[in-house]
Amino acid sequence: TDVLALFRITPQPGVDPIEASAAVAGESSTATWTVVWTDLLTACDLYRAKAYKVDPVPNTTDQYFAYISYDIDLFEEGSIANLTASIIGNVFGFKALKALRLEDMRIPVAYLKTFQGPATGIIVERERMDKFGRPFLGATVKPKLGLSGKNYGRVVYEGLKGGLDFLKDDENINSQPFMRWKERYLYAMEGVNRAIAASGEVKGHYLNVTAATMENMYERAEFGKQLGSIIIMIDLVIGYTAIQTMAIWARKNDMILHLHRAGNSTYSRQKEHGMNFRVICKWMRMAGVDHIHAGTVVGKLEGDPLMIRGFYNTLLLTHLDVNLPQGIFFEQDWASLRKV
């Protein structure tokens, strides 16, 4: 029932990798920078995380894989924010380490079941869209910034009438002076409805509800629902608590929730420090998003084929087996949480 985490550690010269791994385990659970007498007031041996295995990283001279286990009672039920506060809280600033990267996690079923998971999932979405036997076809409105509301809606209509199932807002189109959010929603949904009438098929447009406050996001999501939209969109940069909150709203209001992974490369692209995107995939499946950008091996963004296959499998399979070429270090039973 322990939560397992795999860190890639690069100790400073002269620092023993086993000691560095133990320090990471301690700092992400009960320990601090010195010994305190208050340790005697609780069962620290029970609650302290344990580095149970340290292996050298193949083809490197100074990097190690540190396997760390955490007692399930260290985490608040159903809270990505609390989980991340422990796992990635202070440890990335350790002086004893040159670099630290969270590569993978295993979430036990007992903890996994405290999260709602995706509300819709792939099968229900296909039923709602009446599309079977082929991939969904979507695109992003371009230019993503600068269009007026009327021209934005025109692009939505032309794209959907031309054969797309979905069009979407991009990550940074929110409510700028050249086009306020309500204007965009009205014209975009007019384009959706006209395309539905012209084609006889169910169509959609991802309305980006990302905003400065939760109150603003609720207002935008509710307005999109009133206009008849079946899907809303948020950006990863709004934070884990806001993502979970919008996932709960989407479930209650029978809306599909799309997550744009805006900002992920600030901590996932570096190979020695930060966090692998597969960990975010796991957290977002737990949080309850229905869609997520998981990358591709073509186009303008970086993408290793095996690594991206691992992302897809993390999001789509009901049971994950260890697959080192794809970067999957732990077996994972998804305990009936729907696919993303």
Q: Residue 243's Cα: distance from chain center in Å?
A: 9
Which among 281, 259, 270, 286 is positioned nearest to 326, based on CA atoms? 281
- Report how far residue 36's alpha carbon sits from residue 34's, in angstroms, rounded to the nearest whole number: 6
Q: Which of 142, 252, 300, 319 is catalytic?
A: 142
Distances (CA, A) of 190 to 136, 180, 304: 21, 16, 39
| CB of 250 closer than 8 Å to CB of 119 | yes
The answer to whether residue 142 is catalytic is yes
The answer to whether residue 258 is catalytic is no
| CB of 285 closer than 8 Å to CB of 278 | no
CA angle 181, 187, 191 (to 5 degrees): 135
Which among 286, 273, 278, 241 is positioned nearest to 261, based on CA atoms? 278
CA angle 257, 101, 293 (to 5 degrees): 20
Q: Which of 168, 203, 258, 260 is catalytic?
A: 260
Strands 50-56 and 64-70: antiparallel
- Report how far residue 162's alpha carbon sits from residue 125's, in angstroms, rounded to the nearest whole number: 21
Q: In what order do the strands lie in the sheet with 291-292?
A: 138-140, 166-168, 204-208, 231-235, 256-260, 291-292
- Report how far residue 31's alpha carbon sits from residue 47's, in angstroms, rounded to the nearest whole number: 10
Residues tagged active-site: 142, 260
